[in-house]
Structure 1
Amino acid sequence: MSEQPNDDRTVYRVVLNDEEQYSIWWAARELPAGWREEGTTGTREECLARISEIWTDLRPLSLRRRMAEAVTA
């Protein structure tokens, strides 16, 4: 997405993919393939703040699983 002006009134939603990587997407647009809603909608800033709260481990899910399996093996 391109930079939006500070007076942006667009409603966004928090989305994530199968690797549990988060992003924001326009609420009025259909989600792209491979992405699903997280449940949060709001301003760009609100959605980015939510992502900052919940996306604390930036490693893709597949990597986290492989690392967990290596520990238990």
Structure 2
Amino acid sequence: MNGSPFEGGDADWLIVANDGEQYALWRPYLDVPKGWRIVHSGPDREGALDFVERHATAARERA
């Protein structure tokens, strides 16, 4: 594979989160790091980023 797996929009995307409610954009073919879990799976990058925006905003409002 050439370049970063996080560039390009032609494959599925995941959002992973840890217990501190930190989110990260991830690819399904990469191992999820220890301490993180999958919280969203979808076919497009923009949908994944929208998920983060909605949930990160809600977490900030609860704090």
Superposed pair shares fold, TM > 0.5: yes
The whole-number CA distance in structure 1 between the counterparts of 2:26 and 2:32 is 7
Using structure 2 for the length normalisation, give the TM-score. Answer: 0.70
RMSD: 2.1
Q: d(CA) in 2 for partners of 1:50 and 1:25?
A: 13
Aligned to 1:42: 43
Question: Aligned pair 1:25/2:22, yes or no?
Answer: no
Identity of aligned residues (%): 29
> Which structure has the greater CA radius of gyration?
1
Runs of 4+ in 1 over 6 A off after TM superposition: none
What are the Cα deviations for residues 13-64 of structure 1, in whole angstroms up to 9, with x where unaligned? Answer: 1110110111111012220111101133231111001111111119xxxxx5
Aligned residue identity for 1:4: E
| Unmatched segments (≥5 aa) in structure 1 | 59-63, 65-73
Normalised by the length of structure 1, the TM-score is: 0.62
User: How many residues get paired?
Assistant: 56
- C-alpha deviation, 1:10, in angstroms: 2.0
Q: Secondary structure at the match of 1:40?
A: strand
Query: Which blocks of at least 5 consecutive residues in structure 2 are unaligned?
Result: none
